[in-house]
Amino acid sequence: MPRQQFTPEQQSVRLLKVGERVRHVLSEIFTRQQVHDDTLSAHSLSVTEVRMSPDLRNASVYVKPLLGAGEDEVLQALRQNTAYLQREVAKRLGLKFAPRLKFRADESFDEAGRIEKLLSDPRVARDLGADDESDDPKSDEAGGNDY
Protein backbone atom coordinates (compact mmCIF):
# COMPACT_ATOMS: atom_id res chain seq x y z
CA MET A 1 0.00 0.00 0.00
CA PRO A 2 1.53 3.37 -0.95
CA ARG A 3 2.41 5.83 1.71
CA GLN A 4 -0.19 8.54 2.31
CA GLN A 5 0.96 11.93 1.05
CA PHE A 6 0.12 15.10 2.93
CA THR A 7 0.17 18.67 1.71
CA PRO A 8 2.43 21.01 3.71
CA GLU A 9 -0.63 22.56 5.36
CA GLN A 10 -2.00 19.16 6.41
CA GLN A 11 1.43 18.11 7.65
CA SER A 12 1.83 21.22 9.81
CA VAL A 13 -1.66 20.82 11.27
CA ARG A 14 -0.88 17.19 12.06
CA LEU A 15 2.39 18.19 13.76
CA LEU A 16 0.53 20.74 15.89
CA LYS A 17 -2.19 18.25 16.84
CA VAL A 18 0.24 15.51 17.83
CA GLY A 19 2.40 18.00 19.73
CA GLU A 20 -0.64 19.24 21.63
CA ARG A 21 -1.67 15.67 22.48
CA VAL A 22 1.84 14.92 23.78
CA ARG A 23 1.70 18.12 25.86
CA HIS A 24 -1.62 17.10 27.39
CA VAL A 25 -0.36 13.59 28.24
CA LEU A 26 2.78 14.93 29.89
CA SER A 27 0.82 17.59 31.78
CA GLU A 28 -1.52 14.93 33.11
CA ILE A 29 1.40 12.75 34.21
CA PHE A 30 3.01 15.66 36.07
CA THR A 31 -0.26 16.86 37.59
CA ARG A 32 -1.06 13.41 38.96
CA GLN A 33 2.58 12.97 40.09
CA GLN A 34 2.88 9.63 38.34
CA VAL A 35 6.65 9.98 38.02
CA HIS A 36 8.26 8.55 41.12
CA ASP A 37 11.01 11.12 41.52
CA ASP A 38 11.45 13.29 44.60
CA THR A 39 12.60 16.32 42.62
CA LEU A 40 9.64 16.20 40.23
CA SER A 41 7.20 15.58 43.08
CA ALA A 42 8.49 18.64 44.91
CA HIS A 43 7.89 20.98 41.94
CA SER A 44 4.81 21.92 39.99
CA LEU A 45 5.65 21.80 36.30
CA SER A 46 4.08 23.53 33.37
CA VAL A 47 4.53 22.00 29.92
CA THR A 48 4.29 25.11 27.80
CA GLU A 49 4.90 23.69 24.32
CA VAL A 50 5.82 20.52 22.45
CA ARG A 51 7.38 20.84 18.99
CA MET A 52 7.34 17.71 16.87
CA SER A 53 9.79 16.89 14.09
CA PRO A 54 8.23 16.39 10.63
CA ASP A 55 8.52 12.60 10.92
CA LEU A 56 6.94 12.63 14.44
CA ARG A 57 9.90 10.72 15.87
CA ASN A 58 11.35 13.56 17.96
CA ALA A 59 9.63 15.96 20.31
CA SER A 60 11.16 19.01 21.97
CA VAL A 61 9.29 19.51 25.23
CA TYR A 62 9.48 22.99 26.77
CA VAL A 63 8.86 23.00 30.52
CA LYS A 64 8.89 25.62 33.23
CA PRO A 65 8.69 24.96 36.95
CA LEU A 66 6.10 27.23 38.52
CA LEU A 67 7.74 30.20 40.22
CA GLY A 68 10.86 29.39 38.17
CA ALA A 69 12.67 27.79 41.12
CA GLY A 70 15.00 24.83 40.62
CA GLU A 71 14.90 24.79 36.83
CA ASP A 72 18.24 23.02 36.36
CA GLU A 73 17.51 20.24 38.84
CA VAL A 74 14.03 19.71 37.34
CA LEU A 75 15.52 19.37 33.84
CA GLN A 76 18.07 16.89 35.18
CA ALA A 77 15.29 14.83 36.83
CA LEU A 78 13.23 14.90 33.62
CA ARG A 79 16.19 13.68 31.60
CA GLN A 80 16.72 10.83 34.08
CA ASN A 81 13.06 9.79 33.72
CA THR A 82 12.83 10.20 29.95
CA ALA A 83 12.46 6.45 29.25
CA TYR A 84 9.43 6.16 31.54
CA LEU A 85 7.83 9.30 30.10
CA GLN A 86 8.39 8.10 26.51
CA ARG A 87 6.76 4.75 27.32
CA GLU A 88 3.76 6.48 28.88
CA VAL A 89 3.33 8.86 25.94
CA ALA A 90 3.57 5.98 23.45
CA LYS A 91 1.08 3.88 25.40
CA ARG A 92 -1.48 6.69 25.77
CA LEU A 93 -1.24 8.06 22.24
CA GLY A 94 -1.04 4.82 20.29
CA LEU A 95 1.32 6.20 17.65
CA LYS A 96 3.25 3.90 15.33
CA PHE A 97 6.53 5.23 16.71
CA ALA A 98 7.09 6.62 20.17
CA PRO A 99 8.61 10.09 19.89
CA ARG A 100 11.97 10.66 21.56
CA LEU A 101 11.46 13.36 24.15
CA LYS A 102 14.03 16.11 24.63
CA PHE A 103 13.32 18.34 27.60
CA ARG A 104 14.30 21.98 27.40
CA ALA A 105 13.78 25.01 29.62
CA ASP A 106 11.17 27.41 28.32
CA GLU A 107 12.82 30.79 27.91
CA SER A 108 9.78 32.58 26.46
CA PHE A 109 8.72 33.98 29.85
CA ASP A 110 12.19 35.40 30.43
CA GLU A 111 12.22 36.90 26.93
CA ALA A 112 8.76 38.43 27.45
CA GLY A 113 9.96 39.97 30.73
CA ARG A 114 13.01 41.42 29.00
CA ILE A 115 10.87 42.96 26.26
CA GLU A 116 8.43 44.37 28.83
CA LYS A 117 11.35 45.92 30.71
CA LEU A 118 12.64 47.53 27.51
CA LEU A 119 9.22 48.92 26.63
CA SER A 120 8.77 50.42 30.08
CA ASP A 121 12.11 52.24 29.86
CA PRO A 122 11.48 56.02 30.10
CA ARG A 123 13.49 56.71 26.93
CA VAL A 124 11.35 54.30 24.91
CA ALA A 125 8.15 55.68 26.46
CA ARG A 126 9.28 59.20 25.50
CA ASP A 127 9.89 58.10 21.91
CA LEU A 128 6.54 56.37 21.73
CA GLY A 129 4.87 59.50 23.13
CA ALA A 130 6.49 61.63 20.39
CA ASP A 131 5.01 59.34 17.72
CA ASP A 132 1.55 59.74 19.22
CA GLU A 133 1.82 63.54 19.14
CA SER A 134 2.96 63.65 15.49
CA ASP A 135 -0.05 61.52 14.44
CA ASP A 136 -2.39 64.11 15.98
CA PRO A 137 -3.84 66.38 13.23
CA LYS A 138 -4.04 69.31 15.66
CA SER A 139 -0.26 69.31 16.00
CA ASP A 140 0.05 70.00 12.24
CA GLU A 141 -2.24 73.01 12.57
CA ALA A 142 -0.33 74.32 15.56
CA GLY A 143 2.94 73.95 13.70
CA GLY A 144 1.86 76.50 11.12
CA ASN A 145 2.23 74.28 8.05
CA ASP A 146 1.38 76.31 4.94
CA TYR A 147 -0.24 74.57 2.03
Q: Per-residue pLDDT tens, the chain, 147 aa: give them.
A: 444 455 555 568 889 999 999 999 999 999 888 888 888 888 888 899 999 998 889 999 999 888 767 788 989 999 999 999 999 999 998 877 889 999 998 877 667 777 777 777 777 777 777 555 555 555 455 554 554
Strand stretches in 57-143, DSSP E: 58-65, 100-105
Report domain extents, the chain: 1-106, 107-137
CATH among 2.40.50.140, 3.30.460.80, 1.10.1740.10, 3.30.300.20 for 1-106: 3.30.300.20
Cβ–Cβ under 8 Å, residues 20 and 57:
no
Rounded CA gap, 74 and 40, in Å? 6
